[in-house]
C-alpha cells in the first residue's frame, strides 16, 4: 500500500480524528508497534514442554477490534507528538511499543482493581480465571519490555544506560497514580471538594498517564525543543483531565456504589448532600445512569470536560500535533461518543 493509500485508509477509519496526514501516519505506525509487541508476547508466553496440556497458558489470537481507530485514539494522539517533534523512526517506534506496554500494565491493573474485563493482552488459560490472567499479562508485558529495550540497544537506537533508565522510570512514573488508586481501595470516607478532585485526584488518576508518552523523550532525546515539549505535556494533561471529567459523569453510579472519587459526586456532596443520602437508601446498581437524575450538575460537568478538550486540542494544534484547520470543536465533541456519553452531547452544542 502506498503512503497516500495508507493515509486515506487511516483517515477514513479515524473519522474526524483522522484529520490530516500526521494523525493518519501516527495511527499506521502505532498499529505496527502494537503488532510488534504482540509478536514478542507470542514468543514469550509459551508453556514449557513438560506442562500438562490441560494447564497450558499461551497468547491467544489478537482480536481485530484491538487495532481499530476507536480503540486507539489516545495512542494515536500520543504517537503524533513524536512525529511533530521530528523524532527518528527507530526511536519513535520504540516509544510507541513502550506506550502499548503501559497500556497493558494500566489496563490489567484496572481489571484487577475494578473487576473489569478489558482485554489488551488476550491469554488462553484454563477455567474462567480473572485474577491470574491479569497477573500473567502484567508479568508478560514486563518481559516484553526487556526484549524491546535489548533490541533497541542492539540496533543502536539506545545506549545500554538509556535502556536501564527507561526500564527504571517505566515503573517510577506510574507510582503516583498507583498511590492514588491504593488510597481508594476499600472505598473513601468523605468526598473532598470538587476543586481538589480536579487539581489533585484527576491529575494523579489520569493526567499523569497522558504524560507517560514523554518518558522516552525526557530520558533519551537531547535535541528537542524543551519548551515545546512542556507545552505538549500541559495540553495532554488537560486532555486527560477533560476525559476524566466525562468518565466521572458516565461512571457516577459505579463510583457511588464502590465509594470511589468522582467529580460530580463531590459537587453533589457540596451542593445537594440530601440527594446522596437518598441514594444511599436505594438499591443503586453500578450500571445505573444516575446522571439522568441530576442533569443540571451532570450537564455542567460535561460542558466543563468538553471545554478542557477544546482547549487541549487547540494547544496541540498550535504545536503541530493536530493539523492546522482541523475542526477542533468537532474533534472534542467526538470524544463524547468515544466515551459513551453521546446522549449528553447536546450540552456542548
The tens digit of pLDDT for each residue in 96-125 reads 999 999 999 999 999 998 888 888 999 999
- Give me the helices (H) in the chain, please: 3-14, 21-44, 73-85, 89-114, 131-154, 160-172, 175-184, 194-196, 202-205, 215-220, 226-250, 252-258, 263-271, 273-280, 295-318, 328-338
pLDDT at 18: 53
Per-residue pLDDT at 295 exceeds 90? yes
In this predicted structure, the answer to whether residue 10 has a pLDDT above a threshold of 70 is: no
Pseudo-torsion of CA 284, 287, 293, 299, nearest 10°?
140
Q: Is the pLDDT of residue 20 over 70?
A: no
Rounded to the nearest 10 degrees, how much is the dihedral formed by the CA atoms of 254, 260, 261, 264?
A: 30
Give long-range contacts, CB 8 A cutoff, 24+ apart: 36-43.
36/93, 36/97, 36/148, 37/97, 37/100, 37/101, 37/104, 37/144, 37/148, 38/62, 38/121, 40/144, 40/147, 40/148, 41/121, 41/140, 41/141, 41/144
- Place 7 in a pLDDT band, splitting at 50, 70 and 90: very low
Query: What number is the average pLDDT over the span 68-83?
Result: 92
Mean pLDDT of 323-335: 84
Q: Confidence class of residue 128 from pLDDT cuts 50, 70 and 90?
A: confident
pLDDT at 14 over 60: no
Instruction: State mean pLDDT over 207-229.
Output: 96
Residue-wise pLDDT tens digits, 232-261: 999 999 999 999 999 999 999 999 999 999
278 burial via Cβ count (<10 Å: 0-12, 13-18, 19+): exposed
The band of 15, judged by pLDDT with boundaries at 50, 70 and 90, is low
Which pLDDT score, from 0 to 100, does residue 2 have?
A: 41
Joined together, the cell numbers standing for residue 127 give 477455567
pLDDT-derived band at 265 (thresholds 50, 70, 90) equals very high
Each residue's pLDDT tens digit, 146-184 = 999 999 999 999 999 999 999 999 999 999 999 999 999
Collapsing DSSP to helix, strand or coil, 15 comes out as helix
Q: What is the pLDDT of residue 263?
A: 98
pLDDT at 5 over 90: no
Long-range contacts of 117-122 (CB under 8 A, 24+ apart): 119/63, 119/66, 120/66, 121/38, 121/41, 121/59, 122/59, 122/60, 122/61, 122/62, 122/63
The pLDDT value given to residue 17 = 59
Q: What average pLDDT is seen over the chain?
A: 91
Under the banding of pLDDT at 50, 70 and 90, the label for residue 23 is confident
Mean per-residue pLDDT, 84-95: 97
Largest CA distance in the chain: 63
pLDDT at position 285:
93
What does the pLDDT read at residue 16? 56
- Whether 211 and 233 have beta carbons less than 8 Å apart is answered as yes
DSSP code per residue over 230-251: HHHHHHHHHHHHHHHHHHHHHT
**pLDDT above 80 for 4:** no
Query: Considering the chain, what percentage of its residues have pLDDT values greater than 90?
Result: 78
Amino acid at each position: 500500500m502506498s503512503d497516500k493509500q495508507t493515509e486515506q485508509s487511516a483517515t477514513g477509519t479515524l473519522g474526524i480524528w483522522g484529520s490530516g496526514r500526521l494523525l493518519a501516519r501516527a495511527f499506521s505506525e502505532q498499529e505496527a508497534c502494537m503488532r510488534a509487541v504482540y509478536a514478542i508476547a507470542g514468543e514469550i508466553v509459551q508453556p514449557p514442554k513438560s506442562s500438562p496440556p490441560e494447564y497450558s497458558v499461551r497468547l491467544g489470537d489478537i482480536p481485530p477490534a484491538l487495532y481499530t481507530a476507536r480503540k486507539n485514539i489516545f495512542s494515536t494522539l500520543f504517537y503524533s507528538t513524536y512525529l511533530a517533534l521530528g523524532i527518528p523512526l527507530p526511536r519513535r517506534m520504540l516509544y510507541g511499543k513502550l506506550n502499548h506496554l503501559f497500556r497493558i500494565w494500566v489496563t490489567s491493573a484496572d481489571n484487577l482493581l475494578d473487576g473489569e474485563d478489558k482485554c489488551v493482552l488476550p491469554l488462553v488459560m484454563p477455567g474462567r480465571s480473572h485474577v491470574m490472567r491479569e497477573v500473567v499479562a502484567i508479568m508478560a508485558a514486563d518481559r516484553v519490555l526487556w526484549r524491546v529495550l535489548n533490541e533497541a540497544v542492539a540496533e543502536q537506537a539506545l545506549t545500554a544506560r538509556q535502556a536501564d533508565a527507561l526500564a527504571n522510570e517505566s515503573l517510577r512514573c506510574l507510582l503516583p497514580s498507583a498511590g492514588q488508586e491504593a488510597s481508594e481501595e476499600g472505598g473513601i470516607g468523605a468526598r473532598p471538594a470538587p476543586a481538589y478532585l480536579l487539581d489533585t485526584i484527576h491529575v494523579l488518576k489520569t493526567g499523569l498517564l497522558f504524560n507517560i508518552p514523554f518518558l522516552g523523550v525526557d530520558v533519551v532525546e537531547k535535541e528537542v525543543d524543551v519548551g515545546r515539549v512542556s507545552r505538549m505535556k500541559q495540553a495532554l494533561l488537560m486532555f486527560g483531565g477533560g476525559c476524566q471529567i466525562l468518565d466521572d459523569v458516565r461512571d457516577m453510579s459505579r463510583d457511588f456504589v464502590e465509594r470511589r472519587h468522582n467529580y460530580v459526586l463531590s459537587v453533589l456532596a457540596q451542593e445537594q448532600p440530601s440527594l446522596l443520602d437518598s441514594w444511599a437508601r436505594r438499591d443503586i446498581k453500578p450500571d445505573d445512569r444516575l446522571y439522568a437524575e441530576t442533569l443540571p450538575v451532570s450537564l455542567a460537568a460535561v460542558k466543563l470536560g468538553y471545554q478542557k478538550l477544546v482547549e487541549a486540542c487547540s494547544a496541540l494544534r498550535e504545536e503541530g500535533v493536530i493539523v492546522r484547520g482541523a475542526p477542533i470543536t468537532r474533534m472534542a465533541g467526538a470524544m463524547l461518543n468515544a466515551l459513551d456519553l453521546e446522549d449528553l452531547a447536546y450540552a456542548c452544542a
